[in-house]
């Protein structure tokens, strides 16, 4: 990494701390992972701006603060089995994989799925299992999960995902329409009941059903 990017990364970590990210493990992982590896070359100098950036298939790599915040609120430890809906660039996946025991991640866009798989191989992240499929259906064959993270905004929380959580499990996802306000919510399962806490206003790409074979 060149010195300019190093300075920008250090400034980013200071910003995240100022914005309330207190989990040292999350901060250290954000500091370790080269975000420039997950974006197009022409955006390289923007890699450590605290902003979302475009990636293939009309999607985005989330703002670093949102990545750190959602990860912190998911309350992961190294015993957790985690499901991620929306692999995207693979950046959030790598962050999660550094904190959990096993990560299962689903992507509906084939171009993104292929690129992310190559990145996981490059980083030798053998605790990540990928699936090209419809994330709204979750991954029944691998349920239940200790934690679920959804990285696209749904108009509502999909029941199919709720019931793939373990008792006591936590799900973090943005909820709201593209036209109206969206908020990150934290859902905790208590047997057949769920508590929902609204956390942070955000703007995410929509959570959609089905799969897309080309960009």
Q: Which token pair is 190? A: 């208590």
The answer to whether the CB of 207 falls within 8 A of the CB of 135 is: yes
Cα–Cα distance between 151 and 70 in angstroms, integer? Answer: 9
| 62 is an active site residue | yes
Q: Which of 3, 57, 62, 215 is catalytic?
A: 62
Nearest to 21 by CA among 84, 60, 87, 65: 65
The neighbour count for residue 163, using CB atoms within 10 Å, is 14
Please list the alpha-helical segments (H only) found in the chain: 3-18, 24-32, 64-74, 91-97, 110-122, 159-162
Instruction: State the catalytic residues.
Output: 62
């Amino acid at each position: 990494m060149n010195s300019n990017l190093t300075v920008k990364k250090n400034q980013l970590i200071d910003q995240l701390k100022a914005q309330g990210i207190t989990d040292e493990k999350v901060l250290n992982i954000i500091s370790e992972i080269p975000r420039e590896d997950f974006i197009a070359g022409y955006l390289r100098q923007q890699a450590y701006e605290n902003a979302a950036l475009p990636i293939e298939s009309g999607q985005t790599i989330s703002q670093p603060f949102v990545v750190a915040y959602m990860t912190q609120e998911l309350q992961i430890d190294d015993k957790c089995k985690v499901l991620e809906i929306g692999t995207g660039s693979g950046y959030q996946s790598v962050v999660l994989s550094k904190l959990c025991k096993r990560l299962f991640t689903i992507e509906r866009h084939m171009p993104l799925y292929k690129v992310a798989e190559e990145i996981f191989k490059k980083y030798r992240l053998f605790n990540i299992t990928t699936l090209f499929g419809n994330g709204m259906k979750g991954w029944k064959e691998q349920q239940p999960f200790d934690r679920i993270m959804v990285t696209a905004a749904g108009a509502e929380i999909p029941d199919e995902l709720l019931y793939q959580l373990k008792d006591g499990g936590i799900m973090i996802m943005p909820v709201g329409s593209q036209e109206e306000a969206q908020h990150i919510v934290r859902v905790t399962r208590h047997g057949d009941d769920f508590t929902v806490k609204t956390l942070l206003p955000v703007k995410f790409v929509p959570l959609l059903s089905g799969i897309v074979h080309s960009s």
